[in-house]
Amino acid sequence: MAMPALREATVTQATTARGADLVLIALQRAGTDVVFGYPGGACLPIYDALPDHPWLKHILVRHEQGAAHMADGYARVAGRPGVVMVTSGPGATNLVTGLASAYMDSIPMIAITGQVSTALMGRDAFQETDVIGMVTPVTKHAFLIQRTEDILPVIARAFQVSMEGRPGPVVVDIPKDVQISEGSTRAGEPRLRGGHAMRDLDERAFDEAAELLAKARKPMIIAGHGVRIGRAHAGLRELAERLDAPVAMTLLGIGVIPDEHPLAAGMIGMHGSPRTNRAINAADVILGIGLRFDDRVTGKLSAFAPNAKIIHIDIDETQIGKNVPTAIGIAADSKSAIDALLARVQKKTHPEWRAALDADRAKPKLAQFEDRMELAPRPVVRAIREIASPDAYFVADVGQHQMWAAQHLGFTDPDRFLTSGGLGAMGYALPAALGAQVGAPDKEVWALVGDGGAQMTIQEIGTAVQEDLPVKMIILNNGYLGMVRQWQQLFFNGRISQTPITSPDYVKLADAYGARGFTVERRGELRPALEAAKRATGPVIVDVRIEREANVWPIVPPGGANADLIEGPSS
């Protein structure tokens, strides 16, 4: 039997190789060194070839949805596409939620799906699904490889498509016979067909935007995920200071300007700060960069920013004018756009505007209610922040705890908060945290989850144990699907329907998987448990029994205008 290294050399130096080897060679050429996957019949040739490519680390997940979320978390932290490898049929169908989440959040990802052999396709073969048809709406692109010689150029092209312009997931579906056949290892560069390279900057539009900003008396900036993806936060801060314009952030824009910066205005939208939402309502010019103005940001569209002219800059031209009418729309990446504006705008001051905003700072109305609670959500989140390392990553699942995390963790760095912002996929946090930990092995990674989302992907704690990934999973456990319960309470006449949910004993569960577990039921137990989690060298679950009926405040009623937000239980 050939030794792996010898076999690897043989494979990479040969003029032909099996399709399965070509897949792995293509990944190597693209700079991939880790894959999140799950083997099965239609990708067995690739898994058979895997030991011959020891440079590639494979993380064996417990469910394919977990693989996609792990690749997502990895990509956000490592700054390059996460790679997933699964089998046909259920392997591919299980990916869909993770692909859709990555698509909506502009996360680069490559998903290699095994497919039944070409002779069986369309015959309802065992574990056959129409992968291309299924994933098309939730991916940037999807390729079906029908010839072995196409493997190298198509996978190279898939990486290119995933990264260029607005990033996103790309699926490469490879039938089993294509994996088994021989093909050339010398395939050339990918055919650069289609292609959507960014156009030259529209200088005139930037001139007009600068002119509008110069005339503004009440300017606001709204920064989205595009600012983080474009590594434009330093320029954004300079631009905000130059314009004397407060910066509101979307959920995925959190951290683009440090919380303590005087121009940081906090999160906008459904659970944004009242002060920020009121400021947007009063602004006369809004500069939106790297966001799509989705409904969670705008609230009722017809009432959004009624006094403002909107300048919208996004790398994705199809977002401009889609949701809000724009005075000036510019298709450009955030960094180039901000640099172009910095070259045009002069220093401005708006003392009256700033003073009005400062006078409107939210009062800590919730404190009186928190005192009555044994474990109120906000102090729990603050304690996590205080105990975690300053450069820790935080991954939030979806629901009430996600909003508490966004509101109260307090970020000084643009890259430390991961969450499924667009799709809102419960079950995201634990696997995404594992991916983040793989991407940043020397950093602390804390996953904040609810007891509903925890039970959607809890099996990935097995992956954490097997791979020895020291993720700290903090379950904010209130015995409810809390956000839905909150909506039932506030907007459905208090009629509680199917939202109370039981949980397993998470300490026993952690123990059964070989992880450590703690339960926190009293204030005094919180910090010792979090300190122990911080010190742990392996995965930890901390089950924090928070106040059962605590709500997320403020909240804009569904379909309502941001100005109509409910600030708290007393309003």
Chain residues binding another protein by CB under 8 A are 132-133, 136-137, 140-144, 146, 161, 193-194, 196, 316-318, 321-322
Residue 18, classed as helix, strand or coil, is: strand
Kindly state the smallest distance separating residue 318's Cβ from another protein, in Å.
Answer: 5
User: Catalytic residue at 206?
Assistant: no
Q: Burial code of 346-374, b = ≥16 C-beta within 10 A, e = fewer?
A: eebebeebbeebeeeebeeebeebeeebe
Residue 321, classed as helix, strand or coil, is: coil
Selected catalytic residue, list 65, 115, 127, 455? 127
Selected catalytic residue, list 134, 220, 456, 483? 483
Selected catalytic residue, list 64, 128, 444, 460? 64
User: Catalytic residue at 365?
Assistant: no
Which residues touch 234 (CB under 8 Å, ≥6 apart)?
Answer: none
User: Catalytic residue at 176?
Assistant: yes
Give the chain's end-to-end CA distance (angstroms, integer): 75
Kindly state the smallest distance separating residue 211's Cβ from another protein, in Å.
Answer: 24
Whichever of 316 and 413 has its CB closer to another protein, that residue is 316
Kindly state the smallest distance separating residue 137's Cβ from another protein, in Å.
Answer: 6
User: Catalytic residue at 483?
Assistant: yes
**C-alpha triplet 341, 343, 344: angle, nearest 5°:** 65
Q: How much is the CA Rg of the chain, to the nearest whole Å? A: 25
The packing angle between helices 96-104 and 64-78, to 10°, is 30
Selected catalytic residue, list 126, 198, 211, 374? 126
CB 317 within 8 A of CB 331: yes
Q: Which of 456, 380, 341, 469 is nearest to 74 (CA)?
A: 469
Q: Left (φ > 0), alpha (ψ -120 to 50) or beta: where does 476 sit? A: beta
Whichever of 143 and 417 has its CB closer to another protein, that residue is 143
Which residues touch 185 (CB under 8 Å, ≥6 apart)?
Answer: 11, 12, 14, 15, 16, 17, 22, 25, 152
Whichever of 196 and 217 has its CB closer to another protein, that residue is 196
Whichever of 320 and 473 has its CB closer to another protein, that residue is 320
Whichever of 132 and 342 has its CB closer to another protein, that residue is 132
- State how far the Cα of 445 lies from the Cα of 77, in Å rounded to an integer: 11
Q: Burial code of 163-198, b = ≥16 C-beta within 10 A, e = fewer?
A: bbbbbbbbbbbbbbbbbebebebebeebeeeeeeee
DSSP strands (E only) in 231-388 = 247-249, 264-267, 285-289, 309-314, 328-331
Kindly state the smallest distance separating residue 173's Cβ from another protein, in Å.
Answer: 9
Kindly state the smallest distance separating residue 441's Cβ from another protein, in Å.
Answer: 34
Which amino acid appears at position 215 of this protein? K
Whichever of 322 and 443 has its CB closer to another protein, that residue is 322
Whichever of 172 and 396 has its CB closer to another protein, that residue is 172
Kindly state the smallest distance separating residue 100's Cβ from another protein, in Å.
Answer: 14
User: Catalytic residue at 3?
Assistant: no
Selected catalytic residue, list 121, 140, 163, 176? 176
Kindly state the smallest distance separating residue 503's Cβ from another protein, in Å.
Answer: 38
Return the active site residues: 64, 126-127, 176, 483
